[in-house]
Structures are given as structure tokens and as C-alpha cells.
């Protein structure tokens, strides 16, 4: 056999490393990872990502021998002695009882995501926002303080800005690439640092190691949103992050056909976040869990193709006279001077760039593209383009946008897995094409 199945009882609950914030110090109850059933395929984290993506977490159905995980399309499960024991022992996360608590279809994906991120435990939720909201609420108390970035994903920004103050959490927003500013924002009551490993839409690449160090000094937890990079390009837990969240809607699912979120980290954090998600009701439907698991089997193949395509698209755009600026780490330059290259497998499929002539010119250019769809979202197999100024960042004033570096004419390109020569030809024609040329 290629890979050894670890016995469920052999998986200890990892203690040590960054012991995180003080209020978790007494949460020492020994737990197994998971949850999984004895029929879920649990693989060693030493196995390579391509193999984990295909096999980790698969439910091997003992009745039919089905090769893939069945869709456990049920809201509830028969109660037996194990269920009653789980209720009385407080282990209801580990036993099939009710789908909002857990479902074997979810557990399959959770095990796959945990394996790819190099962790023991994961949680899937109904959306990226439910993953982020549950995580932030679960890991902070009223009276605490959070440090985050001006240019985090819009939904995250709104949550931090609108909901946290009324929930008794104060938030300071800083530039994630300025360690002095991050450090200066720390207060005695800081419990959480929340940053993105590669930011939207300007592809800022903060040092996760540096942020982890600051969090550790502050006895606070570092949570990172790894949506843009995926575990194929970065495994933030290995760089010192405590918890990783994803909008699984994007690269993890990869086909623009479902909405889901994920949280990864040590079980003692995940149990708390699970309990919060349970109360918020952020359950992932079994059918979406099935689609997510299926999509993830090709994650390393897709993401590597997107890494290469995006880098080539970025290089082409950087040399084009109608383009004023291109944001992509592969291009180097002063913004990426401190980049810890060894921490990245690649930089994902996102490129953003400024079309000369401002938003009008950028809109005209997008209309002329034949291959990419003009749509928000990202991370699917198909290329998508959109403008942050009239979508994700439309609620900001022009001045706020320029403060974070979103200049007029900025286009965000989520590069798909199409043939890159076709994409480059399409871009070239759209940038040079006469105005009356029709789309498609």
C-alpha cells in the first residue's frame, strides 16, 4: 500500500508549539483529531499533496464498496447508545447525530482540507464568511481587541467594522506589510490578528512568519485567510499561523458552482469554532460537501496551471503600453523586496492591473474580451475579470480606494486553466481592438 492508514486512536492531539492566548491554556482535554468515522480514509500528512487531494478523507463505504464518498443527504441520524453517550460526554461533534452538528459528507472534505493544510482538524461551513465570522467570534471575548488590515476582503472588513464594535471587540486596521504598524497596534487586550496571505485585489504578500512572531510576542492568535494562495502555494500553519480560514467557494471548489467555507487548525480551536458555527447555523449542505470534495481532487493540478498562466499573463501585461501597472509577486520590484520566496509554492491565479485611461477605458477593454467572463468571484477553472471599483470596493470613496492603492482603471483578473496563449492573444486583441468590435 502506498500510504498507511493511521488508527483513529493513534492520532494524538498536538500540544506545544505556540500555546496561543491564555484563555485556551486550560483547555487540555485530550481529544482525537477529526471528526471521522472508522470508514474515512485518514492518511499520513507526509503523503504528497496530489495524493492527499485525491484520497484523503474518502468515505470507503463498507456496504457497497463505492469508490467515491456517498452523498449523505440526510438531516438526521438514528440515535443509539453512542449518540446518547456523545451528548452526555460533550462529544457530539464526533458522532453522526444531526447534520448541523456534523455529517459524514462534511467529514470527508474536512479530512481532505486538514491533510492538505498539514493539520489534524478542519471544519467546513456554508460560506467563507460563515467560516470567518465563526472563527473571529469564537476566538475573541467581549472587551478584547483585534488587529487586521484595511484591505481585507470586503465582507470581512464589514464584519470587523460593523459587527465587532457592537459585540465589544475593538478593531485596529493597519497595512499588513508594515510590521512596525502591526506591532504598534498591539494592546494588552489584543487577542487576535486577522490577515490575508495574499491580498485582494493588489496581491500584497505580507510575511506570515513575521506576523506570527508579533502574535506570539503579544500572546495573541494569528488567523489568516489563505483563499488566494490555497495550501498548494502556502501552508500558513507551518509558518506559525494558529488558524487558517478559506472561502472554499473559490480555488478549493474550483468550478464556480457552490458556496462553502473552511477553517483549519488544532482541534482545541476547531471545537470552539465548530460550536460557534453551530449556533450561527453555518452548516454546509451534504450535496455541496460532495461537490467540494470532488472539486478538490484536482486542486494541485488546477492551482499549478493557474500559477503558471497568471505569471505569464502578468509578464505580458507588464510589457504592454496600454497598461500602467501590474500587481503580481512574480514580477518582483520594490513591493515584493522582502518576499520570503521559499514559503511559496507559487502565487496563484490572480493578477490585477491598471488600464491607462481610467475606469471607462477599463470597462471598454473588459467588454472586448472574448474568453474571460465579466463576473465577480475567482478561483474557478474559467477566467473571470471584474473591476474592484464598481464591485468589491464600491462602498469605499475614491480617496479611500487610492489610499489602499486601488487606482482608476484597476482590473482584477482571475486566470483560469485555459490555454495561456489563447488568453494572451485575447488580452492583446482587446487592448488593441477597434471599439465597435463585438464580444463573442
Q: Tell me which residues are annotated as active site.
A: 100, 153, 225, 250
Is residue 307 helix, strand or coil?
helix
Order across the sheet with 373-374: list the strands.
323-327, 350-355, 410-414, 384-386, 373-374
| C-alpha cell of residue 428 | 492583446
The answer to whether 415 and 383 have CB atoms below 8 angstroms apart is yes
Is the CB of 219 or the CB of 391 nearer to ligand PLP? Answer: 391
Q: What are phi and psi of 150, to 5 degrees?
A: -60, -40
Are the beta carbons of 329 and 336 closer than 8 angstroms? yes
Residue 225 binds ligand PLP (CB under 6 A): yes
Q: Is 155 in the site for ligand PLP (CB under 6 A)?
A: yes
Q: Which of 110, 127, 144, 207 binds ligand PLP (CB under 6 A)?
A: 127
Size, binding site for ligand PLP by CB under 6 A: 16
Q: Is residue 200 involved in binding ligand PLP (CB under 6 A)?
A: yes
Least distance CB 258 / ligand PLP (angstroms): 9
* Residues 6 or more apart whose Cβ sits within 8 Å of residue 175: 149, 150, 181
Per CB under 6 A, the list member of 119, 144, 259, 352 interacting with ligand PLP is: 259
Q: How many CB atoms lie within 10 A of CB 367?
A: 14
Contact call for residues 224 and 355 (beta carbons, < 8 A):
no
Beta strands per DSSP E along 64-219: 121-125, 145-149, 170-174, 190-196
From the list 1-9, 28-36, 116-124, 221-229, the region that binds ligand PLP by CB under 6 A is 221-229
Number of residue whose CB is nearest ligand PLP: 128
Nearer to ligand PLP, 70 or 155 (CB): 155
Instruction: Please tell me the distance from the alpha carbon of residue 49 to that of residue 372, in angstroms, as a whole number.
Output: 29
Of 291, 311, 435, 414, nearest to 364 (Cα)? 435
- When the beta carbons of 250 and 266 are compared against ligand PLP, the nearer one is 250
> Of 150-158, 166-174, 292-300, 341-349, which part binds ligand PLP (CB under 6 A)?
150-158
Is 249 near ligand PLP (CB under 6 A)?
yes
Span from 122-130, 296-304, 322-330, 361-369 in contact with ligand PLP (CB under 6 A): 122-130
Instruction: Name which position in 153, 274, 316, 353 contacts ligand PLP (CB under 6 A).
Output: 153
Q: Which of 33, 36, 113, 129 binds ligand PLP (CB under 6 A)?
A: 129
Give the residues lining the site for ligand PLP (CB under 6 A): 127-129, 153, 155-156, 196, 200, 225, 227-228, 247, 249-250, 259, 261
Amino acid at each position: 500500500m502506498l500510504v498507511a492508514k493511521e488508527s483513529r486512536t493513534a492520532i494524538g492531539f498536538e500540544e506545544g508549539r505556540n500555546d496561543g492566548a491564555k484563555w485556551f491554556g486550560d483547555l487540555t482535554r485530550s481529544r482525537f483529531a477529526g471528526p471521522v468515522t472508522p470508514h474515512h480514509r485518514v492518511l499520513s500528512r507526509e503523503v504528497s499533496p496530489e495524493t492527499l487531494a485525491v484520497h484523503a478523507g474518502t468515505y470507503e463505504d463498507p456496504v457497497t464498496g463505492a469508490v467515491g464518498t456517498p452523498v449523505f443527504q440526510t438531516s438526521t441520524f438514528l440515535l443509539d447508545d453512542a449518540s446518547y453517550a456523545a451528548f452526555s460526554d460533550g462529544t457530539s461533534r464526533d458522532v453522526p447525530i444531526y447534520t448541523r452538528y456534523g455529517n459524514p459528507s462534511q467529514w470527508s472534505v474536512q479530512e481532505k482540507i486538514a491533510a492538505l493544510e498539514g493539520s489534524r482538524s478542519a471544519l467546513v461551513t456554508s460560506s467563507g464568511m460563515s467560516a470567518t465570522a465563526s472563527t473571529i467570534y469564537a476566538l475573541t471575548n467581549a472587551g478584547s481587541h483585534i488587529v487586521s488590515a484595511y484591505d481585507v476582503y470586503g465582507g470581512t472588513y464589514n464584519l470587523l467594522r460593523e459587527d465587532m464594535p457592537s459585540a465589544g471587540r475593538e478593531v485596529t486596521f493597519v497595512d499588513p506589510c508594515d510590521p512596525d504598524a502591526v506591532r504598534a497596534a498591539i494592546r494588552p487586550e489584543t487577542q487576535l490578528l486577522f490577515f490575508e496571505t495574499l491580498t485582494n485585489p493588489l496581491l500584497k504578500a505580507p510575511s506570515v512568519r513575521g506576523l506570527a512572531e508579533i502574535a506570539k510576542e503579544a500572546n495573541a492568535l494569528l488567523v489568516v485567510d489563505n483563499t488566494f494562495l490555497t495550501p498548494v502555494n502556502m501552508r500558513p500553519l507551518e509558518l506559525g499561523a494558529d488558524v487558517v480560514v478559506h472561502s472554499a467557494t473559490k480555488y478549493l471548489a474550483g468550478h464556480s458552482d457552490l458556496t462553502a467555507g473552511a477553517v483549519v487548525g488544532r482541534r482545541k480551536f476547531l471545537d470552539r469554532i465548530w460550536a460557534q458555527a453551530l449556533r450561527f447555523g453555518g452548516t454546509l449542505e451534504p450535496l455541496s460537501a460532495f461537490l467540494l470534495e470532488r472539486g478538490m481532487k484536482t486542486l494541485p493540478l488546477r492551482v499549478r496551471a493557474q500559477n503558471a498562466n497568471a505569471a505569464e499573463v502578468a509578464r505580458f501585461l507588464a510589457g504592454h503600453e496600454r497598461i500602467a501597472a501590474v500587481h503580481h509577486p512574480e514580477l518582483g520590484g520594490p513591493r515584493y523586496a522582502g518576499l520570503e520566496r521559499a514559503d511559496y509554492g507559487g502565487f496563484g491565479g490572480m493578477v490585477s492591473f491598471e488600464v491607462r485611461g481610467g475606469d471607462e477605458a477599463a470597462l471598454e477593454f473588459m467588454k472586448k474580451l472574448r474568453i474571460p467572463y465579466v463576473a465577480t468571484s475567482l478561483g474557478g477553472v474559467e477566467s473571470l475579470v471584474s473591476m474592484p471599483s464598481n464591485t468589491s470596493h464600491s462602498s469605499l470613496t475614491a480617496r479611500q480606494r487610492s489610499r489602499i492603492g486601488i487606482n482608476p482603471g484597476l482590473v482584477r483578473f482571475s486566470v483560469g486553466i485555459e490555454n495561456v496563449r489563447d488568453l494572451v492573444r485575447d488580452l492583446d486583441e482587446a487592448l488593441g481592438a477597434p471599439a465597435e468590435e463585438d464580444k463573442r
